[in-house]
Structure 1
Amino acid sequence: MCHWSTRYALRKVAVLLRLGQSAGRDFLVRVKRNKPMQWQSVFLGIAILFHSAWTAAESRPLPFNIPSQQADAALLLFGKQADISVVYQHKLVKTYQTNQLKGEFTPQEGIRILLRGSGLKAEFKSRAHLVITQNNQGNEMNSKKKILAATVGFFMGAGGSSLGLAEEVGSSEGMDWLLEEVVVTAQKREQRLIDVPISIATLDDEKLKNMGIDGIDKLVYAVPNLSIRSTSESEKRFVIRGVSNVRGSSALVGVYLDEIPVSLSPQYQPNLQMLDIQRVEVLRGPQGTLYGQGSTGGTVRLLTKDPSFDGINGEIGSSFYTTQDGDTSSEVSAITNIPVIDDTLAFRVAASYKDVGGWIDQPDANKEDINDVETSYIRIKGLWQASDDLMVSAMVLRTRDDAGAQGFGNIKDSQDNPFWRQVERNGLPLLSTEISTYSDIYNITLNYDLGFASLTSSTSKIEFGTDPFNSSSSVNQDPLSNSGLAVIGSFVDIGGFTQEIRLQGVTDNKQLDWVVGAFYSDIDSEVGAEDFGFYVEGAGGSFGSFDERETSESIALFASVDYHLSQQLTLTVGARYFEDDRAINGNFYAAEKSATFDHVSPTIGASFALSNDASVYVRIAEGFRSGGFNSLPDAENYQPETVRTYEVGTKALMLEGRLQAEAALFYSQYEDIQASDPSQRLPTRVVVINPGEAEMQGVEWSAQFSVSEHFSVGFSGHYMDTEFVKVSTVSNNDVGDPIDYAPKYSVAFSTRFDFEGPLNSAGFTALDYNVQDGSVETASNNRRAESDTLTHINMRLGLNWESFTAELFGRNLTNEQDFNNPTNFNSYKQDRPRTWGVNVAYKF
């Protein structure tokens, strides 16, 4: 059965004629004439991207009003309202039930919502031709019926070569190699990536596997202007556009697991595994309106796969690898989807165990490869469809890590190889270097359809930290000497409760998409040590214990509105009011310190649809972080900081789905930066100051090109310039200095080649190349430590069968061992040396 309209062909002809006018040429001339020379080539490249996008066929979001009903009737209405041809077998689909579709969507968005969970799947064979089949391969239509349906659909609605289209429809793999439209939830609702006026990097589960990204640290290989450096499984530093989680009152880059904000501290986060992840979204620039003060620099979102009602299925995987000059490693994982009640209740379990070998030695104790770590991880996710209007999801996550030592060296030998030195203490045995961390996360999320809007409630409890461990810092860098600070029984305990409630909807006239909400958090963090002291050649004394507890109780109200001025132009306006009550106490404080910080973070932007497959946007957004307290008696408390960013960007899907490209220019004003002051450093604590104001400006780009069915390439990167433009009287910086921890550039190149393998397998080979510039860390008297530029090459070679995959891989093939973090405090962190290994996986 097929529905179509002759207006389709006439409309396309009119579009092509209109796009042939001089708008593109005039745009290029204006860009060249008005922009400064240093950005002229960048703007020219983006303008060419805009101009190419004008040639794409035009399609706009359309109003739909289709009630939940039998699929045959719903598809007939869909074809009429979308003005496209829909091909399906009446007897096949009439037994299925579809969802309600009400609102303004593109045809791609609409059909996905209409058929979600129905057991049917949709394939666009062209922009005006849609084929519906069963989602179950065991009950697919006979191929002859597919060809007949496609032929009828072709003559009635598509045009062109009937043989070519029939062959495509008869084989659902005909155009699978083309890039698919990306859908994200960055603005708390489903939208096409092209329609979101934010610079976003996305990686779906397939791309994560193709690039071998099995840890959150490895996102830097695929995401421009993102830097992540870790010293342990739960201590990581995220940097987006020069804004980093290092010192200060709270996180600057927000990390979310589904609806759960897990970045409760500037340095410490739960150990999240990249297992059974549906999609990763990295939002660059301030996200203060929808994500709050923890997302001043940007937001990293890990979206896990939901349970499914479609039957028991899962995957079992294992890997083994060896590291140059280090120990061997092994990992096992299992994923299982378990429906319990048909279309009502299901669970999904993802679990893994890792025994990862180290490569850093401790010569004083005659130990090798001490930075090994064992990690056990389990995540259970439940989904309850309580009624047609109410859906409840719940998650429980538990992670335990047992490491032989922290993941860095504190001293170097004569060849600059890092090793670990534990400080000797008055003839006592050397302290153990072992460290154990824990993470526990609980969440329940409710989604209720109120008719006029949808209500979402997300309640989370998070606990993570370390068991008591020992460390040595400020170690004398002479390998023949043993002196430094010994810290005994250090611990970190962080807990938090968060609650978010929001309403989102669309007005009856379809002109406004809106979201309003409230957020509450109660965070309690405690750090301390049983004892610490300074020793020289084994002789010295103790300073005693220390303990510090900080609390934060905050509330926020937020709202965001998208006003569709026309089918092409959308204006976005939003704001968030935030209030934070903070307090701190401890044995370094004469009395408790407390203060209240509040701020309004606005966002305004506009996006213009050049076509259904291309857009341009502008955005102004602001992020905020509360001030805080110092324990040194003479040290002043530090003030809140803000980041305001001005951004223009473009996104496009071109060449009939072969090329996906994105680029953005940004300029940021960073006021009252929070940074450490090494000149006032305590033996166990760092004093935080406001050294001044800085400016950051740069460009980010990414492109993915499917050259053919068997070969694809990707190219991405960033360039950024940062400098202090004003310094305070307590600053260790000068005007013109770069800000800390901000790599100036990164470049990434990836390729994948698919081929016909032996034994009826599908083979593939992939190569990834990544270069990231070093960064600086400021010390007293304007001294700066600098890290090196790092170059990584990774490769994979594998064979896929229907249910089984085997893969050989090599990581860090250049054996890059330069330090990836600048340090004035003698902590030398490396990426894992050259590694070779094998992965196997079985799906059921």
Structure 2
Amino acid sequence: MLDRSGFAFKSLALACVSVAALCASPALAADASTPAVEGTAEIVVTAQKREEKLRDIPLSISAVSGEYLEKRGIKDIVELANAVPSLSVYPVSPGQNLLSIRGISTFRGDSALVGTYLDEAPLSGGIRIGDGAGLAVQALDLARVEVLKGPQGTLFGEGSIGGVVRYITANPELSAFSGNIKGTYFATRHGAESGEVSGMLNIPIVSDVLGVRAAATYQKHGGWIDNISTGVDNYNSDELGEARIKILYKPSDKFTLTGLVNIHRLNYDGQNLLSVQPYDKSLFQQSVFPDYPTDGYNDFELYNLTASYDFGFASLMSSTSYFNLRVFNSFGWISQIIPGKGDPTVAGGGWEVLIPPNPGKQTSFSQEFRLTSNGNGPFKWVIGVNYKDTRTKYHSNNPIATYFKISDDPSVPLVTENYGGYHASIPSKAKAVFGDASYEFFDKLEIGGGLRYFTEDRSRLDVDRFGAVTGDVKGTFKKTTYRAFAKYKLTKEINLYANTATGFRSGGFNIPASIAFGAPPTYAPESARFYEAGLKSSFLNGRVTFDLAYYTGKYIGNVQSVFRFDNAGHGYGYYANAGDANIKGVEWALNVVPVRDLRLGFSGNVPRTKFTKTSPSSPLLPGDPIDFVPKYELMANAEYDFKWAPDVDGFFSINGTWKGRQQNTNRDSGVGYVINIGPKHTWIDASLGAEFNGYRISIFGKNLADELGILAPQFSGIRPQARPRQIGFSVEKSF
């Protein structure tokens, strides 16, 4: 394990355990009328910057309650993806995840395409370091998670082309003391054992006026991938601690002040990547230098202060956030690009990449003011302004070395590249003003829309390890995004809707080393325009809910990784706008409570993507699909409550997720493997447990089908894999 933490990391771990040891939450038995995975019934969300019932919002949203997350054992966004249609998550390493919603993903480019928020605080939007758009925020003491699908550029701004993931934390209860403590153990097939402890404590300091809620978790996860270069088994272990404190001050019905502090510490020994075939053997080959490091860390602190005042006709909200992210990773490996021994020095070998320790840091200050209309009248509106100042720095003091064979012919020499160490500084200042309004006619028809004007000044300064400036570029990116919608109450139980929305991501700058070989210095912004039509319905007093949505749109200026050789045979990579693609699909969710104690859910998404035009520099051709989009996603779940004994409640749940094949296309890789097809995936989770006298005891299994297929096909041969089958148990005490 990376020994950088010392007192700081151990102190956080001790704090997590201490909070857990003091605490416990009320039993989480579900109401019999609540579907297993929430549909549209009476769930209240804030996706349109106001509290509304989910079925009244004219866009596709999946809302998963904190209670459901707890019962199913979902602890992060990787596991959430198996409960939400259209959301795909690919874990690269502990704490680093690539997100995709409806075919638009964060795989390429240097900032987010899927926005992420913790309450009102943005976690994405700056330059991506360590795949920051998919940070491993823990599903710890949450009220719910909202997944908004399709462009959200008007209310959530730049970087939300695919959609938005919002973690909504539980507020302190001002009138009751409560808490819980939970311990979990599980074993991983092919891997080492793992343990977790978490807890929550809610303290009303001044009844109905001031309260505090603290939650923490400490997790030590064993690895499962073997490093055959060093002989170390299960080398990709990790250690995580996360603590959150939320303070609520409500001196009157008009004024509310909330403070949030979230601290996250994560150490890991290696990435969850495979580079040696056959992949189902869980073999990971490091570089040819056995002592080359593979460990890293992913730490952040988030501070947020949100104040709200009710003026009667409207409420004014101020949200101030400070986010501090630090990432460190290093790796060196051999990848079998061309089948063979994997030795880059011989024909039929592969390539070897040695990347020295690569620390990065990002700080971000953001401020939003928002005025939202009150009441249930026909006219609703919101106006606001947003400011964000982000500073990103990362560096490497040692050269990056790459060795590879581009041919199986022994006469073709080994290609060797050395890129000098560098220091990069990327400041960004972004401003936006936005507004959204709607009007309801005859208590049946609601029509509305919104606009957002966004501008960002971004620059990049690169210096080499000797202090000489190697690159200095600046750019300003501007965009007006919009949305429009109509909603019609066909009956009391059925809402029909249609909408159109746009999204935007700023352009960026390529690294000087690639520019020196002939890469363009910049790439242009991306945008998307989508249309959606659907229905949301609830019947039999919420015992049956059904959502259906059809979406279609155009993704413009898609950014791709491009790999080229210059005339001297030097290989170099860079980002470029590949072209435009069409995306369409059908998404649905059906939840049924056939009898009082049984809840069933069925949901899915069937997307289709195709590039309609490509640029000369693109690694794609018209007709190719967008990378990493499963051909289908199907999900089914069942929950049953029963009695073990008169005073002992029982519960059982089983959940299945099936995802179709996906493709990664790179026609100019220079090493073959032009089209890579990823396998189908099957995920099965189940749990069985009992509740009595404030205790909850359960046994569970995750990935029971032992799905070991690669999650994202890559032409490099370096590919992520999910954790194999896990069997474990948990014990929770509530008070």
TM-score by length of 1: 0.76
Question: Aligned partner of 1:635: which letter?
Answer: A
What is the Cα deviation at residue 747 of structure 1? 0.3
Percent same amino acid among aligned pairs?
Answer: 32
| Partner residue, 1:28 | none
Q: Secondary structure at the match of 1:289?
A: coil
Q: Secondary structure at the match of 2:706?
A: coil
Q: In 2, are the aligned partners of 1:473 and 1:826 still within 8 Å (CA)? A: no
Distance in 1 between residues matched to 2:374 and 2:640, nearest whole Å: 44
Q: How does 1:619-698 map to 2 (within 5 A)?
A: 619-631=499-511, 632-633=514-515, 634-636=518-520, 637-679=522-564, 686-698=573-585
Q: Secondary structure at the match of 1:674?
A: strand
Question: Aligned partner of 1:677: which letter?
Answer: V
What is the Cα deviation at residue 287 of structure 1? 0.6
Q: Which segment drifts farther, 323-332 or 214-223?
A: 214-223
What is the Cα deviation at residue 559 of structure 1? 0.2
What is the Cα deviation at residue 487 of structure 1? 1.6
Distance 1:542 1:626, change over 3 A: closer
Question: Aligned partner of 1:493: which letter?
Answer: K
Q: How does 1:479-498 map to 2 (within 5 A)?
A: 479=341, 481=343, 484-498=352-366
The answer to whether structure 1 residue 203 and structure 2 residue 64 are counterparts is: yes
Aligned pair partner of 1:548 in 420, 424, 428: 424
Distance in 2 between residues matched to 1:275 and 1:299, nearest whole Å: 19
Q: Secondary structure at the match of 1:210?
A: helix
Distance 1:240 1:786, change over 3 A: same
Q: Secondary structure at the match of 2:627?
A: coil
Question: Aligned partner of 1:497: which letter?
Answer: F
| Partner residue, 1:184 | 45
| Partner residue, 2:281 | 417
Q: How does 1:159-170 map to 2 (within 5 A)?
A: none
| Partner residue, 2:325 | 464
Q: In 1, are the aligned partners of 2:272 and 2:722 still within 8 Å (CA)? A: no
Give deviations 1:453-510, integer Å, cap 9, x for gaps.
Answer: 1000111111112236444365776446376121222122222111111001148x92
Q: In 1, are the aligned partners of 2:417 and 2:570 still within 8 Å (CA)? A: no
Distance in 2 between residues matched to 1:185 and 1:309, nearest whole Å: 22
Q: Which segment drifts farther, 225-234 or 554-563?
A: 225-234
Distance in 1 between residues matched to 2:416 and 2:59, nearest whole Å: 55
Distance 1:730 1:533, change over 3 A: closer
Give deviations 1:588-635, integer Å, cap 9, x for gaps.
Answer: 774311111111101100101123332000001000111111223222
Distance in 2 between residues matched to 1:592 and 1:204, nearest whole Å: 47
Q: Secondary structure at the match of 1:291?
A: coil
| Partner residue, 1:9 | none
| Partner residue, 1:259 | 120
Q: In 2, are the aligned partners of 1:679 and 1:780 still within 8 Å (CA)? A: no
| Partner residue, 2:81 | 220
What is the Cα deviation at residue 437 of structure 1? 1.7
Distance in 1 between residues matched to 2:117 and 2:402, nearest whole Å: 40
Question: Aligned partner of 1:661: which letter?
Answer: F
User: Per residue, is there more helix in 1 or in 2?
Assistant: 1
Q: In 1, are the aligned partners of 2:288 and 2:334 still within 8 Å (CA)? A: no
Give deviations 1:212-248, integer Å, cap 9, x for gaps.
Answer: 3122111121111110111123321111111111222
Distance in 2 between residues matched to 1:254 and 1:290, nearest whole Å: 11
Q: In 1, are the aligned partners of 2:229 and 2:288 still within 8 Å (CA)? A: no
What is the Cα deviation at residue 571 of structure 1? 0.6
Q: In 2, are the aligned partners of 1:678 and 1:780 still within 8 Å (CA)? A: no
Distance in 2 between residues matched to 1:679 and 1:419, nearest whole Å: 29
The answer to whether structure 1 residue 274 and structure 2 residue 150 are counterparts is: no
Q: Which segment drifts farther, 469-478 or 672-681?
A: 469-478
Q: Secondary structure at the match of 1:325?
A: coil
Q: In 2, are the aligned partners of 1:517 and 1:558 still within 8 Å (CA)? A: yes
Q: Which segment drifts farther, 485-494 or 525-534?
A: 525-534
Aligned pair partner of 2:199 in 325, 334, 344: 334
Q: Secondary structure at the match of 2:361?
A: strand
Q: Secondary structure at the match of 1:411?
A: coil
What is the Cα deviation at residue 209 of structure 1? 2.5
Distance 1:409 1:365, change over 3 A: same
Unaligned ranges ≥5, structure 1 = 1-136, 138-171
Q: Secondary structure at the match of 2:619?
A: coil
| Partner residue, 1:123 | none
| Partner residue, 1:364 | 229
Give deviations 1:340-389, integer Å, cap 9, x for gaps.
Answer: 11222111001000011110011221211011101011011111114432
Aligned pair partner of 1:303 in 136, 157, 168: 168
Question: Aligned partner of 2:236: which letter?
Answer: N
Distance in 2 between residues matched to 1:473 and 1:333, nearest whole Å: 38
Q: Secondary structure at the match of 1:294?
A: coil
Q: Secondary structure at the match of 2:668?
A: helix
Q: How does 1:567-606 map to 2 (within 5 A)?
A: 567-587=443-463, 590-606=470-486
Q: In 2, are the aligned partners of 1:815 and 1:834 still within 8 Å (CA)? A: yes
Question: Aligned partner of 1:503: which letter?
Answer: L
Aligned pair partner of 1:726 in 613, 618, 635: 613
| Partner residue, 2:16 | none
What is the Cα deviation at residue 721 of structure 1? 0.7
**Bigger relative CO (Cα 8 Å, ≥ 6 apart):** 2
Distance in 2 between residues matched to 1:395 and 1:259, nearest whole Å: 10
Q: In 2, are the aligned partners of 1:194 and 1:613 still within 8 Å (CA)? A: no
Distance in 1 between residues matched to 2:32 and 2:556, nearest whole Å: 53
The answer to whether structure 1 residue 801 and structure 2 residue 692 are counterparts is: yes
Q: How does 1:398-477 map to 2 (within 5 A)?
A: 398-413=263-278, 416-425=280-289, 430-467=291-328, 469-472=330-333
Q: CA RMSD in A?
A: 2.5
Distance in 2 between residues matched to 1:210 and 1:394, nearest whole Å: 28
Give deviations 1:297-319, integer Å, cap 9, x for gaps.
Answer: 10111101001112220111011
Distance in 2 between residues matched to 1:684 and 1:592, nearest whole Å: 23
Distance 1:511 1:294, change over 3 A: same
What is the Cα deviation at residue 211 of structure 1? 2.7
Unaligned ranges ≥5, structure 2 = 1-25, 345-350, 406-413
Q: Secondary structure at the match of 1:295?
A: coil
Q: In 2, are the aligned partners of 1:470 and 1:490 still within 8 Å (CA)? A: no
Distance in 2 between residues matched to 1:640 and 1:174, nearest whole Å: 48
Q: In 2, are the aligned partners of 1:768 and 1:793 still within 8 Å (CA)? A: yes
What is the Cα deviation at residue 774 of structure 1? 2.8
Distance 1:609 1:692, change over 3 A: same
| Partner residue, 1:706 | 593
Distance 1:686 1:840, change over 3 A: farther
Give deviations 1:176-221, integer Å, cap 9, x for gaps.
Answer: 7898511111000000111100100111122222333122111121
The answer to whether structure 1 residue 525 and structure 2 residue 386 are counterparts is: no
Aligned pair partner of 2:372 in 491, 496, 504: 504
Aligned pair partner of 1:790 in 670, 677, 681: 681
Q: Secondary structure at the match of 1:223?
A: coil
Q: How does 1:13-162 map to 2 (within 5 A)?
A: none
Distance in 2 between residues matched to 1:569 and 1:459, nearest whole Å: 36
Q: Secondary structure at the match of 2:203?
A: strand
Distance 1:577 1:319, change over 3 A: same
The answer to whether structure 1 residue 292 and structure 2 residue 162 are counterparts is: no
Question: Aligned partner of 1:804: which letter?
Answer: Y
Distance in 1 between residues matched to 2:497 and 2:611, nearest whole Å: 28
| Partner residue, 1:749 | 636
Q: In 2, are the aligned partners of 1:679 and 1:779 still within 8 Å (CA)? A: no
Distance in 2 between residues matched to 1:438 and 1:249, nearest whole Å: 19
Give deviations 1:72-115, integer Å, cap 9, x for gaps.
Answer: xxxxxxxxxxxxxxxxxxxxxxxxxxxxxxxxxxxxxxxxxxxx
Distance 1:693 1:183, change over 3 A: same
Distance 1:278 1:390, change over 3 A: same
- Number of residues of Structure 1 aligned to a counterpart in Structure 2: 669
Distance in 2 between residues matched to 1:499 and 1:536, nearest whole Å: 47
